[in-house]
Structure 1
Amino acid sequence: MTTPAFTVRAPASSANLGPGFDSLGLSVPLFTTLHVTPQATTEIVPRGEELAATPADESNYIYQAMRLAARRARRDLPPARIEIETEVPLARGLGSSAAALVAGVVAGNELLGRPLRDEDVLDVTAREEGHPDNVAPALFGGIVIATLDKLGTHYVRLDPPANLGVTVLIPDFELSTSKARAVLPKEYSRADAVHALSHAALLAASLSVGRLDLLRHAMQDYIHQIWRAPLVPGLSDILEDAHRFGALGAALSGAGPTVLCFHDTREPTLPLHEYLHGVMNRNGLTGRVLDLPIDTAGTVVTRHS
């Protein structure tokens, strides 16, 4: 039986949220979308300005992700036409590679008749990325705490607390994850380890019970943000001062340069927007400031009859 054409839509994600380094993230509704049509030969069609420089052949990252699903299922990947679109800005700390990876593995699994369970898809994608903090929320939506070790990939998914919204500052410059990881120290003190563990635990607990008042304190981090701050002009100011303009907490989004602020959806965000634009202006930067809900659907597959 031939698989019908289908669409896969995977959301962007924001990882770490301060102290949850490589283990905590959430999804936001900016999407990478694949339109997959089984046919006699494989055809890769990137669309849009964001993907103009990406390969239009089997070396494309999306197609390589589809092959990961086939390898895990120990099957050959059937040929198809794969049209790729994305709203996720590349190299900005919003999980563009994770959205592409998850979309590709899910599409490959769909093309094969779904031999892999969701947990298999998570494990494949987390091991490919090296950490689960982006791929888990991209796959499941919401807020996800996840671990990756030799025994497997394990996660807890949380629905967002009521009235919790996200404001993101997306600068117009790119910052590669490899460059952002290169500035991190190889070793940390016991005090920094205790600080990270206690604050990550408090952050997860606060999000799970809706204690929005604790987010500002729980999102403090000494593991990666202080080291990456020189790569993102204005980051230190935002982490220190954003709460004065309505932010419930602030963090570097993933490896950056995007910065995420939580806000209470019952309160106006104009003062926060004005503050964030002011930070960009003072540092000679341009970019966008967006209010977004937390996406709760995760990756969605739609079959076409």
Structure 2
Amino acid sequence: MFNIKVPATTANMGPGFDALGMALNMYNEVEIQEQEDGVEVIWDGMDVDLPLEENLIYTSLVLVLDRYGYEYKGFKIRMKDCSIPLSRGLGSSASAIVAGIAAANAIMGGKLSEDEIINIATEIEGHPDNVVPAITGGMVVSLSNEGKVVHSKIDVPENLKFAVMIPSFKVSTEEARGVMPKSYGKSECIFNISRVAMLVNAFNKGEIEKIRCCTKDMIHQPYRKTLIHGIDDIFKKSEELGAVAEFISGSGSTLISVVESQNTGFEKNMREFLEGIEGGWQIKMLEMDAHGVRIDI
């Protein structure tokens, strides 16, 4: 029996479209064990009716086992805790993929390296920005080079927290990608290249005062904001309350404010503001998860 815990992730962080991601201390937890016959999926305390072929934990699990020729008869998959909300830009699909691959690797005796796990997860997900930090923890920049994923961790100042604002409405990845242009001009590309480079360096050097200008973006946020009701008012209020920066988490609908730990009034004041606008918003003050996926036997 294997108990697997995978962190939520936030991707892009402004200008780092499909390249930057960070693990957060919100988790999905699943228990997986082999059994003699058939597949049993149990959702603890949750009323979920998800076809087996759409369960990314199961499909990722068997994809890896089949690829490496491991013979199995059946599985019992127990969803113990699903704290990562679906279709909110917090890496719910990445967490399921990583959980399935991690379970397969544990069942096979740990034969896969971290890089092999990352490459398989990216193959399934389609891009590395969420799956890599879910595996490694931390804030990570990732890219594909000649069919392999190359990644590098970024230092995050210890006094930064992340106000994660989650609405009741969803935004699908397909919808969020559909509103984006098919091509961009040179000025837009330069805008983003300069900011993502500065963002990485500002985090590494602890230059917090530079983060706000570095989270600006011209690739996806101007288009995706049309799918997120109240975003302009929330970002304006966040800045008024002293946040370091704001950005759309992944494809949305979640929004994130970067907040210094000494800004103790931010959570209370922002919660009161969110209660007064439409969208069913909730706020959670999270920190970076430095460890990534965890497996207990």
Relative to the length of structure 1, the TM-score reads 0.91
CA–CA separation in structure 2 for the residues paired with 1:224 and 1:243: 21
Residue 241 of structure 1 and its aligned partner are, at CA, apart by: 5.0
SS at match of 2:59: helix
Q: What is the CA RMSD across the aligned residues, in angstroms? A: 1.9
Asked if the contact 1:14–1:28 (Cα under 8 Å) also holds between the matched residues in 2, the reply is yes
* One-letter code aligned to 1:9: K
Q: 1:77 to 1:134 in 2, by over 3 A?
A: farther
Asked if the contact 1:245–1:272 (Cα under 8 Å) also holds between the matched residues in 2, the reply is no
Deviations 1:96-150 (A, max 9, x none): 0000110111111111212211101101111211111100111111111101243
Deviations 1:60-115 (A, max 9, x none): 22110102322443434553211123111111110000001101111111112122
Q: Where does residue 207 of structure 2 map in the other structure?
A: 211
CA–CA separation in structure 2 for the residues paired with 1:39 and 1:66: 14
Residue 237 of structure 1 and its aligned partner are, at CA, apart by: 3.4
Asked if the contact 1:242–1:272 (Cα under 8 Å) also holds between the matched residues in 2, the reply is no
Residue 41 of structure 1 and its aligned partner are, at CA, apart by: 1.9
* One-letter code aligned to 2:225: A
CA–CA separation in structure 1 for the residues paired with 2:121 and 2:179: 25
Dislocated runs of 4+, deviation >6 Å: none
Aligned length: 296
Residue 157 of structure 1 and its aligned partner are, at CA, apart by: 1.6
* One-letter code aligned to 2:55: N
Deviations 1:251-280 (A, max 9, x none): 000000000111111221x34553465256
- Alignment of structure 1 residues 75-94 onto 2, 5 Å: 75-77=70-72, 79-85=74-80, 86-94=82-90
* One-letter code aligned to 1:278: F
Asked if the contact 1:28–1:295 (Cα under 8 Å) also holds between the matched residues in 2, the reply is yes
Asked if the contact 1:162–1:210 (Cα under 8 Å) also holds between the matched residues in 2, the reply is no
Residue from 115, 125, 130 that aligns with 2:126: 130
Deviations 1:196-240 (A, max 9, x none): 111111111111222111111110011100001110012233445
Residue from 161, 171, 174 that aligns with 1:165: 161
CA–CA separation in structure 2 for the residues paired with 1:116 and 1:157: 21
Segment drifting more, 190-199 vs 243-252: 243-252
Is 1:73 matched up with 2:68? Answer: yes
Q: Unaligned stretches of 5+ in structure 2?
A: none
CA–CA separation in structure 2 for the residues paired with 1:266 and 1:173: 31
Q: Where does residue 281 of structure 1 map in the other structure?
A: 276
- Alignment of structure 1 residues 212-291 onto 2, 5 Å: 212-240=208-236, 242-268=238-264, 270-271=265-266, 273-275=268-270, 277-278=272-273, 281-282=276-277, 284-291=278-285
CA–CA separation in structure 1 for the residues paired with 2:256 and 2:216: 13
SS at match of 1:175: coil
Q: Where does residue 142 of structure 1 map in the other structure?
A: 138
Residue from 276, 289, 297 that aligns with 2:291: 297
Q: Where does residue 115 of structure 1 map in the other structure?
A: 111
CA–CA separation in structure 2 for the residues paired with 1:233 and 1:150: 40
Deviations 1:162-210 (A, max 9, x none): 2011101000111111011100000001000000111111111111222
Residue 243 of structure 1 and its aligned partner are, at CA, apart by: 2.2
Q: Unaligned stretches of 5+ in structure 1?
A: none
Residue 43 of structure 1 and its aligned partner are, at CA, apart by: 2.5
SS at match of 1:21: coil
Asked if the contact 1:78–1:112 (Cα under 8 Å) also holds between the matched residues in 2, the reply is no
Q: 1:74 to 1:193 in 2, by over 3 A?
A: farther
CA–CA separation in structure 2 for the residues paired with 1:158 and 1:58: 36
